[in-house]
């Protein structure tokens, strides 16, 4: 049997709106009744994937987290997540019109009313500014560039100049110290003779 057909028979999928229901263990999965598996949203794009972790693992973890926030935990958990998101936006000066209480209310209304379309989803924020901030943070964290190429030569010249100046000062100080010590020992030797 073809492996592709075998996979389709073992894990058939059924698209419902923006979600995909997976038939697992020979029975259709329903998020309201089945605790063994979640609905994987088709929109599983990672905004900024974590390095050194496979994208499929991250997508799976995000889907499980979404499932738990929507079907297992109470509404306060989703509200708390939106509040954390709003706090991050404010911390990084990203303009947003997110009101966590209204947004969580919209999400649960959408879930409980058979995915009935909403007039408006109140989750607007400055996506370009967010992308710029994430790219900057990622560049600083994963690709640290301590010296800009335009100042590398100047920096090296300054460091070498300071090092040479300090080394010359040390040589002069050492010469004066040994000379004074030598003169004092010669003076003591003359006075004892």
pLDDT digits (tens, 9 = 90+) for 164-189: 999 999 999 999 999 888 878 877 77
Residue 85 · residue 99 · CB < 8 Å: no
| pLDDT above 90 for 46 | no
Residues in the chain: 193
pLDDT at 157: 94
pLDDT at 44: 65
Distance CA 71, CA 111 (A): 9
Q: Which pTM does this prediction carry?
A: 0.52
| pLDDT above 80 for 87 | yes
**Burial group, residue 159, by CB count within 10 angstroms (0-12, 13-18, 19+):** exposed
Distance CA 83, CA 103 (A): 10
| Number of other residues whose CB lies within 10 A of the CB of residue 104 | 20
The average confidence (pLDDT) of the chain is: 76
pLDDT in tens, 97-127: 888 888 888 888 877 776 666 666 667 777 7
pLDDT in tens, 15-30: 554 555 555 545 545 5
pLDDT in tens, 133-170: 888 888 777 776 777 778 888 999 999 999 999 999 99
């Amino acid at each position: 049997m073809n492996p592709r057909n075998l996979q389709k028979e073992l894990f058939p999928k059924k698209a419902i709106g923006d979600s995909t229901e997976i038939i697992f263990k020979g029975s259709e999965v329903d998020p309201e009744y089945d605790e063994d598996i979640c609905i994987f949203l088709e929109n599983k794009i990672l905004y900024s994937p974590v390095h050194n972790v496979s994208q499929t693992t991250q997508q799976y973890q995000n889907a499980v987290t979404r499932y738990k926030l929507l079907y297992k935990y109470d509404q306060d958990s989703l509200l708390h997540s939106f509040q954390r998101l709003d706090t991050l936006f404010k911390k990084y000066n990203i303009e947003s019109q997110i009101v966590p209480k209204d947004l969580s209310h919209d999400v649960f209304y959408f879930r409980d009313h058979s995915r009935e379309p909403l007039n408006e989803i109140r989750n607007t924020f400055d996506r370009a500014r967010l992308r710029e901030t994430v790219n900057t943070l990622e560049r600083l964290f994963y690709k640290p560039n301590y010296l800009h190429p335009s100042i590398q030569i100047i920096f090296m010249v300054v460091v070498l100049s300071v090092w040479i100046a300090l080394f010359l000062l040390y040589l002069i100080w050492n010469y004066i110290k040994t000379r004074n010590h030598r003169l004092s020992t010669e003076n003591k030797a003359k006075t004892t003779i």
